[in-house]
Structure 1
Amino acid sequence: MNFDEMKAQMRDGQGFVAALDQSGGSTPKALKGYGVDDTAWTTEDEMFGLIHEMRQRIIESPCFGNGKVIGAILFEKTMEGESAGKSVPARLNERGIVPFLKVDKGLEDERDGAQLMKPNPGLEDMCNRARELGVFGTKMRSVIKSANPVGIKNVVHQQFAEGARILSCGLIPMLEPEYDITAADRAEGEKILLAAIEEGLDALPEGQQVMLKLSIPKEAGLYSGLTKHPKVLRVVALSGGYSTDEACRELARNPGMIASFSRGLLQDLRANQTDDEFDGTLSKAIDQIHTASVT
């Protein structure tokens, strides 16, 4: 797929986006969930080697290329790695899956009920490298923890500002102002978030588009207008700590949103599963998430 074909797939594809972008801080937890505890490595390189083996196993699973996964978000080290003798982005493209890259550098401490992204002076260099490898877009995450209008607006402003830098490099940014699903005031805060996103979209130059990755809203259908906005290529949903069953049930109440799950996709995979067991478990999760995304 060339860039225009990848864009068409992300706009119209009947499927979901897999999140395979656990970074250094979240990798030990991901490996533990996979059945690999922290005694299995002694260096960071060994740790990343183990998570790359897990991701290769997912990417090469027959069910991963069955058309139900239309995109995949990668960690930088995964993007620079190989699968089946090819760069991971090239291999995903070969399997009909649009590659994205996680580009944020983590979160600042909480302020005004939100966590902004840390400064990212090397963003353009990373985006240019990603484009050379055939990556279509990026993803970057902030977190909102309460219905504080100042914190929410700061998060959205930063997301759109960084998105402009990414657009200037020829990639499509996926903005992720995650709302903590455990927040007691989430219903109120998500309405503030929606208004802030709409303001950001209004200020976006004509002809430019972004993607949005949002927590599944407390009020079903809250983001339906965003799914039809001419400056939004696609709205995807994060699982946000929900189990697969919970996330799929909530997602199905929000037509127009498709999944971009990590935990919801990977929670039942284990390193000690046989290939048949692994593929069967992954296939079941893919089918369930796909159904919630397209129905």
Structure 2
Amino acid sequence: MAPPLGDIAHLGHVQLLTPDPDRSLWFFTRMLGMTESGRSGDAVHLRTWDDYEHHSLTLIAHSTSGIRRTALRTSSEEALNARVKALENAGLTGAWVEDEPGIGPLYVTRDPDGHEIALYWESEWYQAPPELLPGLKNQPQAKPCQGVGVRRLDHVNFLAAEVAPNADFTHRLLGARPTEQIVLDTGRLSAQWLTFTDKSYDVVYTEDWSGTRGRLHHVAFATDSREDILRAADLCLDNGVHIETGPHKHAIQQTFFLYVYEPGGNRVELCNPLTRLVLAPDWPLITWTEAERAKGQAWGLKTIESFHTHGTPPLG
């Protein structure tokens, strides 16, 4: 079992593809309350108010939806080099790039399913402009005056043709700890939740029913409170944003959730997992069965069918 704090310090940021960049930008800024921190070509860099780095999310105009890059910050330069060495010793290929503002060299590789994973250490701490200066000096920027006001990027849930090799890659080569999983009656691993920190999870791999590789299930942003998620549901209702399921509480990981589709088609989760931490260094891996999952979510809400079938980019 990997230690609670290994070579990966935390989930840094993600790049999201959208065929409707203007509406997607509207959603993440006006609805979620994120701040634009820069532009480069077809990319717009956005940040949540409590993330300390230059950006939490990059929206990239594209012909379709989906995820391009998931970036993980290491705990030191030595840790970055150690992870790169481990990846290369395992026979994986990668390349060094410097193509993101506020971020130093990134080592870009891919998980077994083909998702782009980048590791980096050098990072520019965000300096708020005068109009965004916070009232408290231990806060990166002022809380937004509009939208939900999401606090931070929380986790990424990848779809994968096979969960096991991707979970093994994240555990063995990146040092994540698996905390919960679903094992089918056949013995096949259909989902696993893994953490790099004392949060209960940072990365999830879920089986793609279509057998397709490299797709996205959802990107999640944490809110301050459950009430923020209830407010988000009303805002989405008032503004024509598709609510897929929730608000409700997951049985797995006990996260209070709301799932919506942003205008580009990507699934976004608003979640409130802030009170649930995995502090035990010997945390046992929790396994859920098919029968247990058939009961639905924590308070009995049945899992909606699209939760198993919708992913981005869309099939076909």
Normalized per residue, the structure richer in helix is: 1
- Using structure 2 for the length normalisation, give the TM-score: 0.32
